[in-house]
Structure 1
């Protein structure tokens, strides 16, 4: 069972405020301060510092946050296992992004459930940012992500590598014949929501070409991947998507890939969990069977 001071520390990490942490924990601010001082004395390091009136973690504080988060979530899973002992199985909660859940995971998950008929699993959908937040708070045990993750906070193994391609209606009339990404800047571009992995991957790759999203003639954000594909089919604009998300439409000819000589974007989809978790071998085993 974790020391109560660790829970105070993690709440301060979450709120970056002693006052807000005290409110959330229903204790006084001096009590929060005392808990933090006690931990600093125990570990022999300052955990927080003030920079320009803002509370920030020190290197020691960040290390403790990473390890303590994993321990807190492991303790929560252990408690669930203890409750489930009579049934001999524990629910595992995992997250997946819309692209992975909707276009790649179903066959492997079906096979896993056939092999493990007693497995109790719950899949939560969300974008990359949402799922990383849920990992940190212990709402899910592991996740399949399509975007970037912080290697200091999370352990990961690759699931698959998927290209990000530019697509359009086959009858789309371009302002400039498209040979490079620069030729698309006069186009209306449809993009997935900012929290999605595809959005971040696109921005990073555009940065490599000294291009920002605002450089396009018009930008529209679409929260639904299905709606985004349907809009491109109506020829309202073009889009950059993971190819697997438009595979069916590309095969049927409803959409076509825009041939660009400098568009060789790809990124790993990854299984991710909290770094330092004692349940890492279990997560690795499950993820290996889902690959």
Structure 2
């Protein structure tokens, strides 16, 4: 268990209000204030800044919050191991949406065939949210296509995947080679902000001196499945990982748009925080290395 002052601090960082923090912890508001003041005096740093009736976390406060979330998770793991009568391993991780839906099912099957007594807990979300989950100690590692801070995370490349433009079979765009500029008059479907796929696309076109505003119409769609359906109905085009549209390409209902000036092959990475030790990480990394050939594109 965490020191009660640290628990009060964490609750306050979530509520950002002394009154609601007191109610949640079933203590008085002066007690919350006393806990925070005692903690700040002991550590010799300001954690919570109060100005114009607004609370905010200082840089030290934000760092302590992240470290406490990770420590809280480690304590929970130790308690679970001590109270459990059966020794077992649970993989708690995240995968960005494309990876989670189109790559992980086969890998999970292979992993469970190799380690049948292990448990799996996977969440799918965009890269930005998965990073936040790791920093809050909710998951141990993630498999992402988006960017991450390499000074904060250990990482290992596990795959590479073509990132392509697709249109409906009803469109004429796939019938001859195009340039990015030729597509500006066509409605574009993109993922939400924070998505690795969107960042990859924006970075790629920015390197060519253009941006999303160059397209006549841009629609934000948070679902890969919905995006594919809308493209199939010829309501726009999209840029997407090839693995996500492999079935539709094979059936001919979606078509790859041949582009003379867009050739992106992007890596997928396994990432985890440098400052914590993830149990079983060597086993996990070795598994992905052994299965690398099966998921890397030629």
Task: Tell me the secondary structure at the aligned position of residue 109 of structure 1.
Answer: helix
**Runs of 4+ deviating beyond 6 Å:** none
TM-score normalized with structure 1 length: 0.81
Q: CA deviation at 1:117?
A: 1.4
Once residues 199 and 19 of structure 2 are traced to their aligned partners in structure 1, the CA distance between those partners, rounded to angstroms, is 34
Deviation digits for residues 136-163 of structure 1, max 9, x if unmatched?
Answer: 4444333322323455765443332333
Aligned pairs for 1:5-24 (under 5 A) are: 5-24=5-24
Once residues 24 and 148 of structure 2 are traced to their aligned partners in structure 1, the CA distance between those partners, rounded to angstroms, is 28
Residue 145 of structure 1 corresponds to 144
Q: Are the equivalent residues in 2 in contact too, given 1:180–1:261 (CA < 8 A)?
A: yes
Task: Identify if the C-alpha distance between structure 1 residues 152 and 55 changes in structure 2 by more than 3 Å, giving closer, same or farther.
Answer: farther
Q: Are the equivalent residues in 2 in contact too, given 1:165–1:243 (CA < 8 A)?
A: yes
Once residues 131 and 59 of structure 1 are traced to their aligned partners in structure 2, the CA distance between those partners, rounded to angstroms, is 21
Q: CA deviation at 1:121?
A: 1.6
Aligned pairs for 1:179-258 (under 5 A) are: 179-209=178-208, 211-258=210-257
Pair 1:28 & 2:41 matched = no
Once residues 24 and 266 of structure 2 are traced to their aligned partners in structure 1, the CA distance between those partners, rounded to angstroms, is 39
Q: CA deviation at 1:71?
A: 0.8
Q: CA deviation at 1:239?
A: 0.1
Q: Which runs of 5+ in 2 are unaligned?
A: 290-298
Task: Identify if the C-alpha distance between structure 1 residues 154 and 7 changes in structure 2 by more than 3 Å, giving closer, same or farther.
Answer: farther
Task: Identify if the C-alpha distance between structure 1 residues 54 and 179 changes in structure 2 by more than 3 Å, giving closer, same or farther.
Answer: farther
TM-score normalized with structure 2 length: 0.80
Task: Identify if the C-alpha distance between structure 1 residues 23 and 213 changes in structure 2 by more than 3 Å, giving closer, same or farther.
Answer: farther
Residue 159 of structure 1 corresponds to 158
Task: Identify if the C-alpha distance between structure 1 residues 152 and 36 changes in structure 2 by more than 3 Å, giving closer, same or farther.
Answer: farther
Q: Which runs of 5+ in 1 are unaligned?
A: none
Over the residues paired in the alignment, what is the CA RMSD in angstroms?
3.1
Which stretch of structure 1 is more off in the superposition, 66-75 or 102-111?
102-111
Q: Are the equivalent residues in 2 in contact too, given 1:233–1:254 (CA < 8 A)?
A: yes
Task: Tell me the secondary structure at the aligned position of residue 280 of structure 2.
Answer: helix
